[in-house]
Amino acid sequence: MIEFIQNNLAFVIFVILLSIFLYVKRKNLEVSGPFPLMYMMMYKTTWGLSKMTHWSSKHPTLFLYLAYLSAFIGIVGMFASFIFMFWQLGFIVDNGITQGGGLVLPIQTENGLDSAVPVFYVPFVYWIIALFILAIVHEFAHGVISERFKVKIKSSGFAFLGIIVPLMPAAFVEPDQIELNKISWWKKVAVMGAGSTSNFIFGFLFLAVWIFAAGPLIDKTMELENIKFNSVMNQSGLYNQIESGEIVSFNGEYDTIQIYKDFQNLTPNEVITLEIESIDESNNTKVENYTFETFENLDNNKKGMIGISGLEMNLVNKEEYSWIGAFPEGFERAIFWIWFLNIAIGIMNLLPIWITDGGQVSSTIFRKFCGKVWGNRIYHTLSWIVLLLIFFTMKPQFLFSLMGIN
């Protein structure tokens, strides 16, 4: 426990301060779910409501076009995200990946994604910045499109997903459900799809900044120091030998930049030797050589693969730019997580499952075109299927056991 607190001190302090705040404001909270095992707390305010009304009335044409786009993305994205989950699970099975997705949290666990509760680690500072931006953008878009269709927003505020303690901050807007149910089906879909649509727009804007500004800044001022990995595919010669580590040398080459370049030029069935530094079960550092053959790249049979993933490449300043410190890497990482989480969470939010906007989109569509009874059946069936897909993606070991894969 002490080691966990030391490794995650910023997040622990955040949870403590957040818990104190929520306790002080407990009279203003609404709690849903089986508290305290898994629950959602909502802190209602009127922040931003006047801005939503002002923007929707000042730029009605702009937000009407955004509504059209949101309806399209809401429908297509709901089906596409559902298909993507099947593809992702198939990719995991085909490649024998033992570490799938996880909760996006700034928590470093001993086994990362392979722990009891899989965690997709994001450093705390980048996590809080990216979540703040994507939540505000997402909910503001819901509010503006609602107001564009004369659906009043009753409240806005912050929400907190908790498991024993509050963990994941979010934001929300609360439209008037009576007014929302009176508008046409496609307008309801537009309102529901607006959040993810705005996340995609901002995500691609920040992706452009990452490619054309942050990336070149890194190239100019920093260089690669070492390469780490945290997962091994079952086709790899390293499988069942090692799970994670730091690459010291490749075929006798110790220059990290050259190693990275050599990785790009591998051919299938090429015999290679990796010198890897890792931590054993006794928490001791060891360095060992591993000689094995590469295997064929799934997308290009002329390319070879080592079969390691979860790569982490540590950077240091070039000598002439030592004065600039860690700014280029910090800027690049912040921009990366902003665009990545906007797009990734935007996709996940369109999954047709009860608690997402995609779930509300699927409910609206299937009730409209299949009738209330069959629409509800399809909606709930899809939700259960998605829930299973998420579970097997996060814990693929259970699926491997069912399929008899070791």
| 373-393 pLDDT, tens digit each | 999 999 999 999 999 998 888
- Compare 43 and 61 and report the one with higher pLDDT: 61
127 close to 337: Cβ distance less than 8 angstroms: yes
The pLDDT score that the predictor gives to residue 241 is 87
In the chain, % of residues over pLDDT 70: 94
Q: What is the mean pLDDT of residues 68-91?
A: 94
The pLDDT score that the predictor gives to residue 113 is 47
In terms of phi and psi (left: phi > 0; alpha: psi -120 to 50; beta: otherwise), the region of 381 is: alpha
- Tell me how crowded residue 232 is: count the other CB atoms within 10 A of its CB: 25
CATH number of 231-309: 2.30.42.10
Handedness of CA 72, 75, 81, 86 (dihedral sign): negative
CA distances from 47 to 50, 157, 185, 238 (A): 8, 7, 28, 53
> Average per-residue pLDDT in the chain?
88
The pLDDT score that the predictor gives to residue 405 is 63
The pLDDT score that the predictor gives to residue 195 is 95
The pLDDT score that the predictor gives to residue 406 is 57
- Compare 236 and 147 and report the one with higher pLDDT: 147
pTM equals 0.81
* Separation CA 203–CA 371 (nearest Å): 36
In the chain, % of residues over pLDDT 90: 50
The pLDDT score that the predictor gives to residue 360 is 94
Q: What is the mean pLDDT of residues 127-132?
A: 94
Triad 174, 180, 186: Cα angle to 5°: 120
94-98, 186-190, 270-274, 288-292: least confidently modelled range? 94-98
Paired residues of 271 in beta bridges: 293
Copy the structure tokens of residue 139. 């909910």
Domain with CATH 2.30.42.10 in the chain: 231-309
Q: What is the mean pLDDT of residues 126-134?
A: 94
